[in-house]
Amino acid sequence: MLTINYTYRIYPNTTQQTELLEWIETCRGVYNYALRELKDWMASRKCPADRCSLEKEYTIPADELFPSYHRQQNNLPKAKKQFPHLGKVHSQVLQTTIRRVYDTWEAFQKRGYGFPRFNKLGQFKSFVFPQLKNNPISGHTIKLPTIGKVPINLHRSIPNGFALKSVRVGSKVRGTQWYAVVTITSDVSVPEIEPRSPCIGIDLGLERFLMASDSSVEESPQCFESMQSKLKLLQHRAARKQKGSKNWEKAQLAIARVYHRIANRRQDFHLKTAHKLCDRAQTIFAEDLNVKGLRRGMLREDCVDAAFGQFLSLTEGVCWKRGVYFAKVDPNGTRPNCFAMVSKGLNVREHHCPDCRDRTHRDTPPASLRERVAAEMVLHRGLEPVSRQRLWENESACQVGLSGVDDLDRWRGARTSNREIGKPALYL
């Protein structure tokens, strides 16, 4: 079963926008109410059996069952009688909202931290139509249950053989831009992508966004830094408005549009860079970075602006679509630590390090050299397990990885230091 998500821009009219916003607020209330029942039941079981809490006590009977997904879903018809505004929302939309609570609850139990939080005003931004009888897309409109027909920018058609499964409607930029995420499925089997030549390793950094083992470079776009002055001016103006007034809402909308533009520019750069990599190679290796750890360091602002996690995720998706093998390797120890100084005259144009046995032109910038060597180390780490699994049986016997003779000469001669990584073994 193959499942793909397509995102389209939709353009509801004023009446439909008002109704969609009301639905989102109703779903937010249902989500918070279901989570409140769950948290109260959990809090009532924290107190020891022989004594009560000094702060507060939850008077929930001991024989009360756990508010599971099915119990809360069955309570929805009773809640509609008590709260008539719930009946305005499609019934399956409310059911998927309850399901959303328990998806976060199950994720919390799986990872052991991050208890689900309540959604404040403006934080709940989407809802789902899980089932649709017929294909709702016809021409340049999409028919949503109860909402009606909404214009859609169908920038790419749905492939033949795919059936539409569900539609998620979401808002951005404080409810002024609307999108429909269409989930399509097909009963086809996708073969696993196997590594093949040529291949490259990529090293991500802040000075340069990307350095590949084939010496190609992608400079960092610095999307946030380029718009920071304008964003600072808009935030300064918004701070002088009375909170909740119409002028304050307009100022907040202008700030949201700038943030949305920054996110779009960053995503566009990541997608274009991923396609460039796929144009040059059929196998790509990248570092498995600790993205959460990078956001806590001294350079957290630059790391968040670069969005390495989003780039790796988008690159993996682009590689899957284009049939390119993608894998992540351990990032520890990929940066060269040799900074030995070697004296030489002006007539000597080549730098030769006696410690790490590296050879390069003397005019090569040290930062570029370190990044290129790091990318080559990433490439070697990716090729080593692939060679052990003998996935290159279709290649000639003289090849190790993708260009065995060149790699062996490089590692035996000028490129390899005697480090923990070790030298590559020859698999013939």
- pLDDT, tens digit, for every residue of 114-142? 889 999 998 999 999 998 888 889 889 99
> Could you identify the residue written with the tokens 């390899």?
416
Is 60 exceeded by the pLDDT of residue 365?
A: no
> Could you identify the residue written with the tokens 């370190």?
370
Predicted pLDDT at 205: 85
- Report the percentage of the chain scoring pLDDT > 70: 78
Predicted pLDDT at 198: 87
Is 90 exceeded by the pLDDT of residue 269?
A: yes
Q: What is the mean pLDDT of the chain?
A: 82
Q: Regarding predicted confidence, which is higher, 268 or 112?
A: 268
Predicted pLDDT at 26: 95
Whole-angstrom CA distances from 167 to 4, 7, 140, 179 are: 12, 10, 16, 10
Predicted pLDDT at 52: 65
Q: Regarding predicted confidence, which is higher, 351 or 34?
A: 34
Q: What is the 3-state secondary structure (H, E, C) of the chain?
A: CEEEEEEEEECCCHHHHHHHHHHHHHHHHHHHHHHHHHHHHHHHCCCCCCCCCCCCCCCCCCCCCCCCHHHHHHCHHHHHHHCHHHHHCCHHHHHHHHHHHHHHHHHHHHHCCCCCCCCCCCCCCEEEECCCCCCCEECCEEEECCCEEEEEECCCCCCCCCEEEEEEEEEECCCCEEEEEEEEEECCCCCCCCCCCCEEEEEECCCCCEEECCCCEECCCCHHHHHHHHHHHHHHHHHCCCCCCHHHHHHHHHHHHHHHHHHHHHHHHHHHHHHHHHHHCCEEEEECCCHHHHCCCCCHHHHHHHCHHHHHHHHHHHHHHHCCEEEEECCCCCCCCCCCCCCCCCCCCEEECCCCCCEEECCCCHHHHHHHHHHHHHHHHHHHHHHHCCCCCCCCCCCCCCCHHHHHHHHHCCCCCCCCCCCCCCCC
Amino acid present at 420: E
Query: Number of C-alpha atoms within 13 angstroms, CB side, residue 61?
Result: 3
> Could you identify the residue written with the tokens 């960092």?
220
Predicted pLDDT at 265: 95
Predicted pLDDT at 393: 46
Predicted pLDDT at 7: 94
> Could you identify the residue written with the tokens 């249902």?
30
Q: Regarding predicted confidence, which is higher, 233 or 410?
A: 233
* pLDDT category of residue 403 using cuts at 50, 70 and 90: very low
* Residues 175-194, mean pLDDT to the nearest whole number: 90
Is 50 exceeded by the pLDDT of residue 401?
A: no
Residues 6+ apart with CB under 8 A from 388: 427
Predicted pLDDT at 326: 92
* pLDDT category of residue 409 using cuts at 50, 70 and 90: very low
Amino acid present at 366: P
* Residues 350-376, mean pLDDT to the nearest whole number: 64
pLDDT digits (tens, 9 = 90+) for 158-177: 888 888 999 999 999 999 99
* Residues 360-386, mean pLDDT to the nearest whole number: 69
Own/partner long-range contacts of 74-78 (Cβ < 8 Å, ≥24 apart): none
373-375-381 Cα angle (round to 5): 105
Predicted pLDDT at 402: 37
Domain map of the chain by residue range? 2-47+57-186, 199-217+277-412
* Residues 407-420, mean pLDDT to the nearest whole number: 39
Look up the pTM and report it: 0.78
* Residue 34 contacts residue 98 (beta carbons within 8 Å): yes
User: Rounded distance, CA 350 to CA 363, Å?
Assistant: 8
**Torsion-angle region of 277 (φ positive above 0: left; ψ -120 to 50: alpha; else: beta):** alpha
Least confident of 219-223, 335-339, 392-396: 392-396
* Residues 395-407, mean pLDDT to the nearest whole number: 36
pLDDT digits (tens, 9 = 90+) for 6-59: 999 999 999 999 999 999 999 999 999 999 999 888 877 776 666 666 666 667
- Among candidate residues 138, 182, 186, 144, the one with its CA nearest the CA of residue 163: 186
